[in-house]
Chain A
């Protein structure tokens, strides 16, 4: 791996953030917290990919990982929206059951 020192710092931070997020997904009990954790993990992964895109100290960054991140963001946002909607459904149903 030939990363410039600055990029390496970001890469390691990305790894660390994604591990924190993954821990949250596995350890948290509440679904809302798990969804947020999944997004934290996503941010970590994307940060790492951004860092990996800078291959040389000068010179332009590689655009392919950027394309991957953009797609990944779209997937993460849609999945998050879907999960939040499902959580909302469950919540509403719960309220309904409590009322009756």
Chain B
């Protein structure tokens, strides 16, 4: 069926090699290597995508060792969508970063040069997590991403960033240990780490349910669900802008996608109904809580970070919404995936724009940014396009996702959730319009055209192009909405039955 299944491992291996490569080459060559490497990494994801589109879910055993002992890579419509999403976001962030970080002086490596190795390792980890079905492989990769993420935050070099990195690494270690404990219990009960085999062997025993609970808890911390989101705002706000975009746009999404996959691989059939309900309620509270705190922040990047806490909440409504009416599942799944991708793209774009404003205006406090729309119109336009998504206005992808979730909540008669979905949009509008009110209005007490005539740190031309592309990408899918939905159906989101029957699960 597929000529070269080994190509499936390229999206993982290639960025990891680039990570080592960018550590070794001279600093002068870094920007060119970063750009070409990013484009090449994105291209490695395309051939497997084509196969899945034509022939259905793809499967590859690494090194000739299949499950249960070895590690399998698995690619279905869901992983395809997220691989594409990571590729687009990754390329845009890479191009932005080449302009954002200053060029090191001749023969000298500065701290910002470490962005490239750390970022490519993170990218490889992200791709690997979209492709793996091995519970322990997930643990290792998550820890890899966390340690690389800590390093990425540290590039900022400020005292606040060091504190944020410490907090970030601590949550990652604890979340990882909790997850690992769950993996140990599941392995003891079922004798395998392969998600397909586990899905086939699941039974509602206390040991399995405890293991599942621990694994999901660990992942919830990494996905920053309320009330375990406390580590996110400092980490995402104090990191340099491209890193904020990586962490808020990609890393949080990855942790969430794993919860999603584990859950609908079969855990939803054995979990007590109180668990998905609780996750839905925490999601709803997170939407409101994150929104309210975003309203109270005085720094643009902090506002965006709390907005992530709020937007992550939407993604957890799926567990509650699919509980009573399995018929609504397809709708809720599609809506949730749209929300996740819309948020990832829009939040990356917003952070990149915020980074430009922070550099040119000298600070990202709302007082410093007053009237910035007159001086930096392009950055503010990108921020506005991203906001259309975050608020969920038509014709954005965020709107489509929200609309689907809203429909599902009516369909399942969960009025409380419907109320929160609508209210959350209003809250997002409130905290973002507050930003635009400041950006659009020059200070009243100092009239005159030239309050701050020249940007303090001139940035290269075209730095905003990638951010603009990301923001625009969220507005496109409305034109051909059926393609992603069809893609999502390949492998019938996480329903492995079709896959297991022909070859035999064992």
Give chain A's interface residues, CB within 8 Å of chain B. 1, 18, 22, 25, 31, 34-35, 38, 41-42, 45, 48-49, 52, 55, 64-65, 68, 71-72, 75-76, 78-80, 82-83, 86-87, 89-90, 93
Contacts and interface: CB of A to CB of B under 8 A. Distances in A.
29 contacts: A1-B189, A1-B207, A18-B181, A25-B170, A38-B173, A41-B177, A45-B177, A45-B180, A48-B184, A52-B184, A52-B185, A55-B188, A64-B193, A65-B187, A65-B188, A68-B136, A68-B184, A71-B140, A72-B180, A75-B140, A75-B147, A80-B173, A82-B147, A82-B169, A83-B170, A86-B169, A90-B159, A90-B162, A90-B163
Contacts of B174: 22, 25, 38, 41
Contacts of B177: 18, 38, 41-42, 45, 72, 76
B426 to A, nearest CB: 34
Contacts of A82: 147, 150, 169
Nearest to A97: B159
Contacts of A1: 188-189, 207
Contacts, number: 86
B227 to A, nearest CB: 12
Nearest to B188: A52
B166 A83 contact: yes
A82 to B, nearest CB: 6
Between B147, B150, B177, B181, the greatest number of chain A beta carbons within 10 A of the residue's beta carbon is seen for B177
Given A68-B184, A75-B143, A83 B163 contact: no
A35 B185 CA distance: 25
A13 to B, nearest CB: 14
Between A34, A49, A72, A80, the greatest number of chain B beta carbons within 10 A of the residue's beta carbon is seen for A72
Given A34-B170, A79-B172, A86 B162 contact: yes
Contacts of B139: 68, 71-72
B165 interface: yes
B420 to A, nearest CB: 28
Contacts of A49: 180-181, 184
B405 interface: no
Nearest to A79: B173
Interface in B280-318: none
B16 interface: no
B338 to A, nearest CB: 34
Contact of A79 (B147, B159, B207): B147
B471 interface: no
Contacts of A87: 166
Contacts of A90: 159, 162-163, 166
Nearest to B144: A75
Between B146, B176, B189, the greatest number of chain A beta carbons within 10 A of the residue's beta carbon is seen for B176
B183 interface: yes
Between A38, A75, A76, the greatest number of chain B beta carbons within 10 A of the residue's beta carbon is seen for A75
A33 to B, nearest CB: 12
B162 A89 contact: yes
Interface in B72-126: none
Given A79-B143, A83-B169, A64 B187 contact: yes
A31 to B, nearest CB: 7
Contacts of B176: 75
